[in-house]
Amino acid sequence: MKKLLVKSSVALTAAQKKKLESGIRERELSFKYVVEPIIGGIQIYDGERILDTSIATDLSKMKKHIDDFIFSLGEGVAVKDIPSLIKEKSAQFKDKEHDFEICGRVTSAADGVVRIEGLSSCKYGELVLVGNAGFALAMNLEENGIGAMLLGGTSSVSYGDIAYTTGKILEVPVGDEMLGRVIDPLGNPLDGRAPLKSLKTRRMEYPAPAIIDRAKVNQPLETGILAVDAMVPIGKGQRELLIGDRQTGKTAIALDAIINQRGKNVICVYVAIGQRSAAVKNLVKTLDEQGAMSYTTVVLSTASDTAPLKYIAPYTGAAIAENFMYAGRDVLIVYDDLSKHAEAYRTISLLLKRPAGREAFPGDVFYIHSKLLERAAKLADKLGGGSMTALPIIETQAGDISAYIPTNVISITDGQIYLSKELFNAGQRPAINVGLSVSRVGGSAQTKLMRKLSSKMRLEIAHYRELVVFAQFGSSLDPATRETIENGVRMEEAIRQPEGVPLDMLREEIYLFAIVNKALKKIPRGGVLKFLDAYYNYITATNPTIMKIIKETGDLDEDNAEILRHATEDFTAHYTMPDAE
């Protein structure tokens, strides 16, 4: 026997029920009557289709049509003309007759994931309107229904709620108005400031640029961190992974990179995935104090948010960054971190009853990260020449970079910066393990002078760290080994850098010149940074022409390099260590 669910704003009388039932010419029907706040009118649902004549739905549809119409007008419409246009749109809607619509019914809801029976015409990735709870994103298309992740809480979802297809996909607001703002993954402001008025939106998921639309990565993205810019350089359009255990300084490197873009015409997007609200609040405060929030957008999904919001957060950030990239601008985007993003997707997939694979992750967990990170690129000149540089962050457990998610992301990115827990605990900042860190773009993302100087330093530091390990097992060392270790100690001290104090490229190059030319040989370990600072000031004052050449060309010919070497020797010979404070 077929069942019909009848909803009305007030209880129907017996006469009204009899009249309704006699008007439906179909045998073997049973009727169930419920009262709901639909303002007026009636809804009849048979499990697959709905006849909806309620006033609540009329008002909702009218508002939606008017909102869509106003959005379609763009910015070129005079305010005085809007009332007449709305009236015209309302009249068009009023003439439409009620008809059956394809709909479904909620059968379960848990942790942001709902299952809906019906909706046979729904498409993958389509927005679905679920009762009074808002929108859900279709993720599973099944024979008798769909699985969808709810873009909000599940508290307002009830068994039996009606769900409708919308024919739309998820879009987020983009544009210059997003700069300086903290938003949630749906584009709603979280900073307590005025609501966003951006009329421009962009699809949350978008195809990555084709190979033919990309240009070679050959411009450095200056992080202001000497160890990074010298040994694992990052280029505009590159995807460089920051990987390491918890509390090893991954976010600090990303934060310094954002701060260092001040005045360099680079837009920044920081995506916090499953982070503590207090930690992100402190990060935003730091950016604000450093004057970096004026060119930065923060997309925040907190640890208490549902899994669907954590899942869509990086795609929201990518859409905001892409808008600037296709406008011909340079963008730096940080995903902090993709480990929690993978865990959120695992939660969604298990609730959707998808087959589990290694470590209970679904089989397409590699795909969700590759389609995200492939959107970072350096565009060809015909597309404006913009770039999007991605710094994804992955957290390892006990330094295990061979785990499932770390190996996946390593294989997608153009290199990784591995931060060692041992180096961090030993006081080295940043705690970069040179042996496990690599930039597959390499010298293409460095100035010529930086490339000449840094290659030698990287090899010497790697050699030094190997010797330190072996030196622990021997009581005596030959003079050559001892000299290598002493030189390595001073090199490590030279690349030690506190958080929030990025260096400009010229200062980094001058520091490197002193390091590579053995100017630190007689300097005590504790005085290395003071020596380098004094050395930079000396060269700036005594050789302004050479400084200008380096700044303008990024290179130094042999004649000028010889002049700089003599100046270095003179300074080193007469340098006196300042008194200890």
Cα dihedral: 104, 106, 110, 115 (round 10): -40
Q: Can you give the pLDDT at residue 96?
A: 41
Taking only the tens place, the pLDDT of each residue in 508-567 is: 999 999 999 889 988 988 899 999 999 999 999 999 999 999 999 989 999 999 999 999
Q: Among 123-132, 327-336, 347-356, 557-566, which is the least confidently predicted range?
A: 123-132
Q: Is 214 marked active-site?
A: no
Q: Can you give the pLDDT at residue 250?
A: 95
Is pLDDT of 429 > 60?
Answer: yes
Q: Can you give the pLDDT at residue 47?
A: 65
Is pLDDT of 5 > 80?
Answer: no
DSSP 41: S
Segment (H or E) for 158? none
Phi, psi of 409 (to 5 degrees): -70, -35
Q: Which residue has the higher pLDDT, 197 or 277?
A: 277
Q: Can you give the pLDDT at residue 66?
A: 58
Is pLDDT of 21 > 50?
Answer: yes
- For CATH 3.40.50.300, the residue range(s) in the chain are 234-446
Q: Where residue 498 falls among pLDDT bands split at 50, 70, 90?
A: confident
Query: Is-above-0.85 flag for pTM?
Result: no
Q: Can you give the pLDDT at residue 99?
A: 35
Q: Where residue 76 falls among pLDDT bands split at 50, 70, 90?
A: low
Q: Can you give the pLDDT at residue 97?
A: 40
Residue 125: CB atoms within 10 Å? 14
Is pLDDT of 188 > 70?
Answer: yes
DSSP-assigned states of every residue in 320-355:
HHHHHHTTT-EEEEEEETHHHHHHHHHHHHHHTTPP
Q: Which numeric CATH code is attached to 2-172?
A: 2.40.30.20
- For CATH 1.20.150.20, the residue range(s) in the chain are 450-574
Taking only the tens place, the pLDDT of each residue in 191-233 is: 888 888 877 899 999 999 999 999 999 999 999 999 999 999 9
Q: Can you give the pLDDT at residue 94?
A: 46
Segment (H or E) for 167? strand 162-169
Please state, rounded to an integer, the average pLDDT across all residues of the chain: 86
Q: Can you give the pLDDT at residue 111?
A: 76
The active-site residue, picked from 440, 458, 496, 507, is 440
Q: How far apart (Å, rounded) are the C-alpha atoms in residues 216 and 461?
A: 29
Q: Where residue 79 falls among pLDDT bands split at 50, 70, 90?
A: low
pLDDT over 70, % of the chain: 88
Instruction: Please name which of 338, 306, 352 lies closest in space to residue 150, comparing C-alpha atoms.
Output: 306
Class (C level, CATH) for 234-446: alpha beta
Segment (H or E) for 389? strand 387-395
What number is the average pLDDT over the span 380-406? 94
Domain 450-574 grouped into CATH 1.10.3720.10:
no
What number is the average pLDDT over the span 366-386? 95
The answer to whether the Cα torsion of 502, 507, 509, 513 is positive or negative is: negative
- For CATH 2.40.30.20, the residue range(s) in the chain are 2-172
46: three-class secondary structure by DSSP: coil
